[in-house]
Amino acid sequence: MTLIAPNLFYSDEHEWVRVEGNNAIIGITDYAQDALGDIVFIELPVIGDDCTQMDQVGVIESVKTVSNLYIPVSGRVVEVNEAVLENPSIVNSSPYDEGWLLKLDIYEPAELEDLKSSEEYEELISEEE
């Protein structure tokens, strides 16, 4: 059963966004990690990088396939999860928690309106399944 965390924003590319004050914490969804399978390599932007919504900023590679990471909301990278770079399988075991990828300073909070709610995302993946 695919897990969808409540109270997050979701992109069509299967990323999630948790808003904390002016920060956005970004990761990939349970659905995405399950579709990829065993993740072995992750490439992320570095602290200080400016990212524009829908930019391809990273790569998530599993044994089976490779997937691009798109930025769901524009901002400046203020923190990168070094633990997942060291041990990418954390994203498989804990996609919404320990497996977070990036923390951004949000430039344009209005962009969050482009994203889906938990309920809307659930609808999206039930269509894909």
Residues binding other proteins (CB under 8 A):
37-38, 40-41, 43, 59, 61, 63-64, 66, 88
Phi, psi dihedrals of residue 43, rounded to the nearest 5°: -120, 125
Between 59 and 83, name the residue whose CB sits nearer to other proteins.
59
Closest approach of other proteins to the CB of residue 92, in Å: 8
Between 19 and 40, name the residue whose CB sits nearer to other proteins.
40
Between 14 and 103, name the residue whose CB sits nearer to other proteins.
14
User: Which DSSP helix (H) or strand (E) runs through 104?
Assistant: strand 102-106
DSSP code for 116: B
Q: Please report how many Cα atoms fall inside a 13 Å half-sphere around the Cα of residue 22, on the Cβ side.
A: 8
Sign of CA dihedral 14, 15, 20, 23: negative
Closest approach of other proteins to the CB of residue 83, in Å: 15
Closest approach of other proteins to the CB of residue 66, in Å: 7
